[in-house]
């Protein structure tokens, strides 16, 4: 999948995989960076275990990906355009999977960037891509015939 160079920043270091707890928290906090949540609200909104929520929030905060107020509320940063783009892409992925639940995509099929990115397409995926689909024969294109049409092709029956 090609990358739009107008929006690509090689310094973006977002090594978060879609479908993980980190990704879910980023998606929630970057929906609106003017909103802040308690750990309990995040836990309830994402249906995560308490220990998982607090550990993941601490790691994201320590990595500088989310902010924490002095009274313990977590929020996304207004200046982190890279994380807002990432969160927006997660919303788009969710939308795609909702509209096309059996499309055959898995989280590993999503293009990864950063130091942990896979640089090559696995051979089995290349082979799948190169297999041409069967074209229907012209006889298969006609699904039914109109028996009520006039011989002049007008579609009106003779009376």
Q: Which CATH number fits domain 21-101: 1.10.10.10, 3.40.50.720, 3.40.1400.10, 1.10.1740.10?
A: 1.10.10.10
CA 110 – CA 79 distance, rounded (Å): 25
pLDDT in tens, 89-101: 888 877 776 776 5
pLDDT at 107: 60
pLDDT in tens, 123-154: 666 555 555 556 656 665 555 555 555 555 55
pLDDT in tens, 62-98: 988 999 999 999 999 988 888 888 888 888 877 776 7
- Greatest C-alpha distance within the chain: 86
Please give the model's pTM, rounded to 2 decimal places: 0.55
What strands, in cross-sheet order, belong to the sheet with 67-68?
A: 36-37, 74-75, 67-68
- Cα distances (angstroms) measured from residue 125 to each of 17, 93, 105, 130, 135: 20, 20, 12, 9, 21
pLDDT at 29: 92
């Amino acid at each position: 999948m090609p990358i739009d160079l107008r929006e690509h920043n090689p310094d973006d270091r977002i090594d978060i995989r879609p479908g993980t707890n980190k990704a879910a928290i980023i998606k929630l906090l970057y929906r609106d960076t003017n909103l802040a949540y308690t750990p309990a609200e995040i836990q309830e909104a994402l249906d995560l275990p308490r220990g998982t929520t607090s550990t993941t929030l601490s790691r994201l905060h320590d990595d500088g990906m989310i902010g924490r107020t002095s009274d313990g509320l977590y929020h996304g940063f207004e200046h982190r355009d890279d994380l807002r783009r990432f969160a927006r892409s997660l919303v788009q992925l969710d939308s795609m999977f909702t509209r096309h639940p059996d499309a055959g995509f898995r989280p590993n099929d999503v293009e990864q960037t950063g130091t942990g990115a896979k640089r090559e397409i696995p051979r089995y995926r290349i082979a799948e891509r190169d297999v041409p689909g069967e074209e229907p024969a012209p006889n298969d294109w006609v699904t039914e015939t109109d028996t009520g049409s006039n011989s002049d092709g007008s579609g009106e029956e003779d009376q």
